[in-house]
Structure 1
Amino acid sequence: MHSFADAIDIGAAEDGSLRTGQAAVWHDPSGRADLSAALQALEQGEFRPLAGAGSTGLRKGSYWSLFILRNTTDSSVPIHLEYVDHQLIRLQAFASASVDTPHFLELANLAMGESFARRPVFHNRFVVPVVLASGTSEAFLVRFDSEEVGFVFPSMRIWSPDALSKSHTGETAVLSFLFGGIALISLFSLIVGVTTREWSFFAYFVYGISKIVAWGTILGFTHQYVLPDGFHWSYMSAAGAVSILCGLVFDRLFLQTRKYTPRLDLILILMMVNAGVLLGSALLQIKAVALMSITFALLLYPAFTVIALVRWRQGSSEAVVFALGWTLLLAGLFYQALRDLGYVEHNLVNYYLPPLSSFIEMVTIMAAMGMKLRRLRLQGLESERQYRRHLEQSKVKLEGLVRARTEELEKAKQQAELEARTDPLTGIRNRRSFLSDAELCIKRAQRRGEPVSLLMFDIDHFKSINDNHGHGIGDEALRQFSVTIQRKIRETDVFGRLGGEEFALLITETRPDSLYTAERLRDNIAQIRLRCPEGCVQFTSSIGVAHGSTDESVETLLRQADHALYCAKERGRNMVVEYSEQSSSTAGSAETPLNPEPV
C-alpha cells in the first residue's frame, strides 16, 4: 500500500490547503468497475500519478483515487473531505482502518440526482465526513464518476468541520454579492428599458437574470436551496443554454448586427442555432452532444469581440466598451478551459473566476449601455428631463463625496488625537496621557473605596545597551519591555512611558498584591532576550512602588514611587522597593526629579 501512496499527516485545524488523490489514480474507461475491480487494479499496479495540473481532461469513464490519511494528534480528529469541483455526477468513498492489509468499507455514496437532504454535509459540493482515531492511519478509495464523458478532478480538500463551514459561508456571501450586483444591474436595465422603450435594455435584463440562474445552477446552489429533490445534471446544461441564447439576443440588439454587419450577423445566428442544440441535448439528456455544443460555443465566442470592434470602427463608441467587457469574460472562460484540460491547477480562485469575470462583463457592458443611453437621451425628445435627472445624480454624488470627505477628516482627527496620546516608539501612553488617565483612575478608585498603587520602572544600565549595541537595540529593548508589561496587566490598569527608560503603572490592588505584581513583572522583564550580532542581550529593571491613600494625587504617587525607585538603584538594582514615610525622611535629599517627557 505504501508503494502507491504516501500518508498525508492531518491535524485538528485543517483549512483546506491540503489536498488528496493525485498521487495514485486509476482510470476505468468503462465506468462500471466496482470496489473489487479497483482493488484488483491496485494489486496489479495500475494506479499511477495523475498527469497534468489536476484535471483528467475530457474523457469517458470513471476515476479511482487512493490516498492515506494519518492522524498525528493525541485525540480523534473529525475531518471533512470536500470534492474540489461541482460538475460531478457521483462520488463513492471507501475506507480501510488497516493500511497494510486493507479491507475497504463504503463511507459515502453521493449522487447529483439524489435528494440534497441525503448529503451528510450541507454543502453545494460533495463532502465526505470522516473521523480518524488518535495516532492511526486509514486508507481511502474514492470513485469519481461524470457518466459518459466529462472533466474530473480526482482530488479532495481536507478541512476541519468548522473551517469548511466558515469557508462555505464566505463563498456563499461572495456569490450572493455577485448575484445581487447582477440583479441590481438587471433591475436598473429593466427600469431604463421601460423609460426609453429600448428593447436592448429589456434583453439585457433577461440576460442578467439568466446568468444568475445559470451560475447558481452550475455551481450547485440551485440544487442546495431551490431544487433539493429531483435535480439532474441536464439542468446545468439547460440553464447554460438559456443564458447563452439570451446573451446572443441581447448582443444582436445592442450591436445592431442585422442592420450594420449583416454578414457577421450570420455567425450570431449560427451560435443561436448551436445554443438551441445545447438546450435540446440537455432536455434529452444527451451529455456528449451537450459537451460538444458548449465547446463549439466557446470557440465562437471571440467573434463577439471582432464584431464589436467592427461596430466601433463604424462609429459606435459604446461598442469598444462592449468589446472590453466581452474580452474579460472570454479571459475567465479561457482560463476555466485551461483548468478543465489540466494545464492550470484547480483552486478556489480559478474555480470562481468564470462567475467573477461574468459579473465584471455585466458591469462593463452596463457602462457601454450607459453610453448608449446617453446618446439616446441627447437625441430624444426627453433631453430636458434627463438633464434634470443627471443633475440629481450629480447632487447625490456630491453629497456622497462630502460625506466621504467628512469621514476622512473625522478619521484624521481621531488619528491625530491618538498620536497626541501615544508614545511613538512603544505604542503605549505617553507622559501626558498617562497622567490624565491615572488621575481619572485614582478618582474612580477613591469613590469606590479601592486601594491604588503606582509602580515606577527603570531599565537598569540602559545607557550601556545603547553604547554597546546601538540605539536600534535600545529601541527594541524599550518596545519589548512595553510589550511584556502589557501582556501581564489588566485592561483597566494604566501603563505609560514617562520618558527615556522610565515607565509607570497604576493598578487598583492592595499593598501585598501590588508588591506581588511588581515582583512578577520584574521577573518577566528579566526573561526578555534580544538577539543582536554581538549575541543575546538581556536586561533587568528596578521598580519603585507607592501606595495611595484617600486624598493623594498622581503627582504625589509619582514622587513617592520615584523616591523608592532611587532607593532600589542605590541598593543594587533589579529589585522592588516600597516607599515608606520613614525611608523618605531618612533619605529625603536623595529624591530625584522625574525625567521629562520623551520627544
Structure 2
Amino acid sequence: MKDRIIRLRLLDLRRSIFKCWYIRPSFYVFLLLTFYALFLSKVPVWAHTPLDVNTNEQGENSTGLHAIWHDKGGESDIYSARQAHELGEFRILETAGSTGLSAGVFWSHFTLRNRDSHPLTLNIEYVDHQLVGLQAFSRKAGSGDLFREVSNLSIYEPFTRRQVAHNRFVFPVTIAPEATQELMVRFDSGELGVVFPSLRIWSPQALQQNSKGETSLIAFLFGGYFLMAVFALVGAIAIKEKILYIYSFYCASKILVWGTVLGYTHQYLMTGSFHWGYGSLSGAVAIMAGLVFARTFLETRQYTPKLDFLLQLMLLNGAFLIGCVFLELKALSQISMIIALLCYPLVVPIAMIRWRQGENAAGVFALGWATLVLGLLVQAMRDLGYVVHNPVNYYWPPVASFVEMLAIMAAIGLMVQRLRLQKDRAEKKYLQQLEVSKIDLEELVQSRTRELEAAKARAELEARTDPLTGIHNRRSFFEESNLLLKLAQRKQIPLGILMLDIDRFKSINDCHGHLIGDQALCATARVIAQHVREVDVFGRIGGEEFALLVSADGPGTLAVAKRIHEDIAKIMIKSALGPVQFTASIGVAQLQGERDVLELLQHADSALYRAKRTGRNRVLEYAVAEG
C-alpha cells in the first residue's frame, strides 16, 4: 500500500511538472547541456612547441598549460620564474585545466610564432574570472634578452586602466613578421584560490564579436531575473503575499552575484575601484536569500523543525561569511564559501521530504534547486580540475541558476493554485453550511446584534459614568453642562453652579484606609443626588471634588448649597476605629455672561478656594471682585 502511494505521488509530481509547457523543454535542454559539459566536451591540446598563430584567431587555440610552475610562497618575480624555467622546474599541468584550490601564484611559459610577413597583434584572454591579478612578460624567442612587462592587470585597479575592455583579463601581444615570441605569465589568485592557466588566443575583431555574444547571453539572463523580480514584487504588493517579496529579492540577488562573479559589476558599475570581497559578499547575500526563501516556501519551521535547525546553521554560516569579508579575512571567507556550497544541496532532500508529506509544489521546488546544485557541481568539478574548462560549463552555473528560478516560479504557481483550490472548496462548503443553517444563523446574528447593542450601551454608559459613584464623570459633566449653559443663554434662564470638596479627605484615607474613603465619596454623591432635579447636571470632576449645575437664580442656588452642606455633615460611616464624620466646603457662582461651563466653574473654584483658606466647612459665593 505504501509503495502504491509513493508511485501515485511520483505520477502526480511528473504531471504537475511537465504539464507546464515552459519547464519541459528547459528540463531536456538542461540534461543535454549537462551531459555535454561533463562528458562530451573536448579537452584542448596545449602544445609545448611554438604555436603558429595568424590574423584569423577565433579563440580555438589555447596555450599555457604545458609549462607550469607553482610558487607556493607567492613572492616570485620574473627573474625567479626565469631561473625556475632554466632549472627545468616548469611542469605539465596534470589536471583537466585547473590548479585546484591552492595558495601562492602560478607561472606559465609558452611561445607564439608568426609565419606571416607582416606584424601580428593578438589578444590573449584568461579563460576564467576567479583571478586577482595577471602579469605578462615577453621577449623574442632565442634572443637571450630580458623579459619585458607587456601587461599588469589587477581587480584592484580601475577598469579604465585595462588594455582591452573586457570583463575577464585580456592583454595584447604584438609579434614581429616571421618571428617567435616567448611569454611568461604570472597568475595570482590571492591567499587561497583557483587558477586556470589556460589562455585563449584571439584576433581583436574576433574577441570583440565573441564578447558581444557573451554579453547578449548575460543580458538575456539578467533581463529574465529582472522581469521575474518585478513580476513577483508587483504580485506581492497586489495580494500581500510574503513569499513573493522574498522571491523578488532572491531574483535580484542573482543579478548581483552573477554580475559580480563574472566581472560585469567591475566593468559597468564599480569601474573606479573593486575589492576581492565583493564576490564573496554578493554570494553570501544570494545564498542567504535562497535559504530564507526555502525555509518560507517549504515551511520547514512548522513541518520539519529538526531540518529547519540545519538551515538556520547555514544562514549563520552566511552571516559569518559576510563578517569575514568586512574583517578582510580572505582565507576564512573562502573556507566559509566552500562550506556554504557544500551544504547547499541539503535543501533538495528537505524539499523531497516536504513533497512526501503531501506538498506537490515542494517536488517542483526540489527539481529547480537540484538544477542549481548540478550547475554548482559542474563548476566545482571544473575548479578542482576534473572537468575541462569550456564556454558551456563556464556559463552553465548562471544558466542553471536561471532554470532554477523558472522552476521555483512554477512551484509558486502550483502552491498558489493549491491555495486557490483550498479556498474555493472552503467557500463552497461554507455556502452549503449557510444554506443548511440559514435560520439558525439569522437568529444567531440577531442575538449577537442585541448583545452588541447592549454592550455598546453599557460601554457608552461606562464612558460617561464615574465607576465609583455612578454619577457623571468629568467629560460627561462638561458635555451635559455646556448644552444646559447654551440653552440657558438662549432662553435667558438663570443658572448657578456649585463646586464641592470634602474637607481633609486625605486624612480619612490615611487614618481609615481607602475603602472608607471610597464609602465617603459614595455617601457624598448620594446626598447631593437627593437635591438634583432632571434639569440639573451633577458629576464628579476630581478625586474628592463634585460639581452641580442647577437651573436657579442666586438665592435659589445658595439655598441648594446650604442644604447639601448640612446633609453632608450628617453623614456617618462605620469603621474599625469608630464612626467617621466629615464636612465639605462649597463654592457657589452664578451665570453672568460666561462663555462656557469651564469659565463658570473657575469662578466657583475661586470661591471654594477662599472657603478652604478661611477655615473650611462653609459655603461661599463668588464675588466679582475675585475675578
Common fold by TM > 0.5: yes
Letter in structure 1 aligned against 2:336: S
**Equivalent residue number for residue 143 of structure 1:** 186
**Equivalent residue number for residue 87 of structure 1:** 130
**Equivalent residue number for residue 264 of structure 2:** 221
Tell whether 2:290 aligns with 1:274.
no
- C-alpha contact 2:261 2:279 (8 A) present in aligned 1: yes
**Equivalent residue number for residue 394 of structure 2:** 351
Letter in structure 2 aligned against 1:270: L
Tell whether 2:407 aligns with 1:370.
no
Deviation at 1:139, TM superposition (A): 0.1
Task: Please show how residues 187-202 of structure 1 align to structure 2 within 5 Å.
Answer: 187-202=230-245
- C-alpha contact 2:114 2:180 (8 A) present in aligned 1: yes
Q: In the alignment, which of 45, 51, 76 is matched to residue 88 of structure 2?
A: 45
Letter in structure 2 aligned against 1:163: A
Tell whether 2:350 aligns with 1:307.
yes
Letter in structure 2 aligned against 1:220: G
**Equivalent residue number for residue 104 of structure 2:** 61
Deviation string, structure 1 residues 400-442 (Cα, Å, up to 9, x no partner):
xxxxxxxxxxxxxxxxxxxxxxxxxxxxxxxxxxxxxxxxxxx
Q: Matched residues in 2 for 1:382 and 1:188: separation?
A: 28
TM-score by length of 1: 0.62
**Equivalent residue number for residue 16 of structure 1:** 59
Residues 249, 104 of structure 1: CA spacing in aligned structure 2 closer, same or farther, 3 A cutoff? same
Indicate the SS of the match to 1:27: strand
- C-alpha contact 1:102 1:139 (8 A) present in aligned 2: no
Deviation string, structure 1 residues 428-460 (Cα, Å, up to 9, x no partner):
xxxxxxxxxxxxxxxxxxxxxxxxxxxxxxxxx
Task: Please show how residues 149-298 of structure 1 align to structure 2 within 5 Å.
Answer: 149-298=192-341
Q: Matched residues in 1 for 2:393 and 2:128: separation?
A: 11
Deviation at 1:380, TM superposition (A): 4.1
Q: In the alignment, which of 332, 337, 346 is matched to residue 380 of structure 2?
A: 337
**Equivalent residue number for residue 122 of structure 1:** 165
Aligned CA-pair RMSD:
1.5
Q: Which runs of 5+ in 1 are unaligned?
A: 385-599
Q: Matched residues in 1 for 2:57 and 2:234: separation?
A: 47
Deviation at 1:378, TM superposition (A): 2.9
In terms of Rg, which structure is larger? 2
Q: Matched residues in 1 for 2:426 and 2:138: separation?
A: 71
Residues 383, 201 of structure 1: CA spacing in aligned structure 2 closer, same or farther, 3 A cutoff? farther
- C-alpha contact 1:5 1:66 (8 A) present in aligned 2: no
- C-alpha contact 1:81 1:128 (8 A) present in aligned 2: yes
Q: In the alignment, which of 73, 90, 94 is matched to residue 30 of structure 1?
A: 73
Indicate the SS of the match to 1:59: coil
Letter in structure 2 aligned against 1:271: M
Deviation at 1:299, TM superposition (A): 1.5
Q: In the alignment, which of 120, 137, 142 is matched to residue 99 of structure 1?
A: 142
Q: Matched residues in 1 for 2:421 and 2:237: separation?
A: 18
Deviation at 1:152, TM superposition (A): 0.4
Letter in structure 2 aligned against 1:35: I
Q: Which runs of 5+ in 2 are unaligned?
A: 1-46, 428-627
Indicate the SS of the match to 1:125: coil
Q: Matched residues in 2 for 1:90 and 1:220: separation?
A: 13
- C-alpha contact 2:260 2:278 (8 A) present in aligned 1: yes
Q: Matched residues in 2 for 1:88 and 1:284: separation?
A: 21
Q: Which runs of 4+ in 1 moved over 6 A?
A: 381-384
Task: Please show how residues 439-478 of structure 1 align to structure 2 within 5 Å.
Answer: none
- C-alpha contact 1:178 1:359 (8 A) present in aligned 2: yes
Q: Percent of counterpart pairs with the same letter?
A: 50
Task: Please show how residues 498-577 of structure 1 align to structure 2 within 5 Å.
Answer: none
Indicate the SS of the match to 1:352: helix
Q: Matched residues in 1 for 2:373 and 2:426: separation?
A: 36
Letter in structure 2 aligned against 1:12: T
Indicate the SS of the match to 1:205: helix
Letter in structure 2 aligned against 1:211: K
TM-score by length of 2: 0.60
- C-alpha contact 2:121 2:173 (8 A) present in aligned 1: yes
Deviation string, structure 1 residues 351-410 (Cα, Å, up to 9, x no partner):
1010000000000111001111112233448999xxxxxxxxxxxxxxxxxxxxxxxxxx
Q: Matched residues in 2 for 1:355 and 1:105: separation?
A: 38
Q: Matched residues in 2 for 1:382 and 1:240: separation?
A: 42
Q: In the alignment, which of 364, 368, 375 is matched to residue 321 of structure 1?
A: 364
Indicate the SS of the match to 2:189: strand
- C-alpha contact 2:111 2:141 (8 A) present in aligned 1: no
Q: Matched residues in 1 for 2:85 and 2:60: separation?
A: 27
